[in-house]
Structure 1
Amino acid sequence: MAEKLIVTPNAVRAGGNELLAAQAAFETIMRTLSTSVGSNGSETWGTDSYGKQFAEGTNGYYSSRGNLLKGGSDMSDTLREFGTGLIDASNTAVKTESGNTSAF
């Protein structure tokens, strides 16, 4: 026999709020990282051949930095969307239950 799964709107809403709190904290971390990455200037490693090898190309610093910051931004957006989605689902469940209850 299958186990029962009970989901309450309040628990779903609480999960959504936790995700939004995590998103806010993660966004702060990413903002700090972005500021820190940019605070040392764009070419602290120099413009000689070693510096260019470090910075350029698909595996170089420029590409890696861009990927990291873009990935962090995307993660923050995803956390926000999931959190908001859970809260919206909770609100819809409450509204539907209220509508169904009043029909009886």
Structure 2
Amino acid sequence: MKKRALLPLLEAIYLRDEEVFKKLALQLRDLEAQRVSLTQVPPSDVEHVDLCLVRETHLRWRREKIDEILDRERKLKADMRIAKQKFGKALGRFEAMKRIIGDVER
């Protein structure tokens, strides 16, 4: 296969890996926003016992949800690290091939 024919293939791989990385970054940003919104507990002036119990149940649910989100964030960060490495390699290969082709054409 000629070097020039490899260039579009390497570019496609680079663009694919870039898209995966961007998608993971967007998912991580959304999860972080969800977590932040859940950590901001609205103030309460509830004095009625039944409402206090409901509020306590709701706060417990929020804490559980935050823990779930933190778990998903940890897993997503690991996936992002891998995607970033793949993206970096693909970019390096693409740039190297462009330089090789540029040197050959001179």
Answer yes or no: same fold by TM over 0.5. Answer: yes
Of 60, 70, 75, which aligns to 1:71? 75
1:38 to partner: Cα distance: 3.1
Aligned counterpart, 2:94: 90
What is aligned with 2:27?
29
Counterparts of 2:97 and 2:74, CA distance in 1: 34
Q: Report deviation, 1:29.
A: 1.4
Residues 79-88 or 34-43, more deviating:
34-43
Q: What's the % identity of the aligned pairs?
A: 5
Alpha-carbon offset, residue 24 of structure 1 = 1.1
Corresponding residue of 2:54 = none
Q: Report the Cα distance in structure 2 between the residues aligned to 1:27 and 1:18, rounded to whole angstroms.
A: 14
Q: Give the TM-score normalised by the residue count of structure 2.
A: 0.57
Q: 1:89 to 1:40 in 2, by over 3 A?
A: same
Per-residue CA deviations over 1:21-73 (Å, capped at 9, x if unaligned) read 22112211111112113312289207xxxx8xx69xxxxx74x5433212212
Report the number of matched residues: 86
SS at match of 1:40: helix
Contact 1:9–1:91, Cα closer than 8 Å, also in 2 = no
Code of the residue aligned with 2:15 in structure 1: it is N
- Give the CA RMSD over aligned residues: 3.3
Q: Which has the higher helix share?
A: 2
Greater C-alpha Rg: 2
C-alpha distance in 1 between matches for 2:22 and 2:98: 26
8 Å contact from structure 2 (residues 17, 90) kept in 1: no
Structure 1: distance between partners of 2:26 and 2:98 = 32
The aligned residue for residue 12 of structure 2 is: 14
Give 1:45's aligned residue. 60
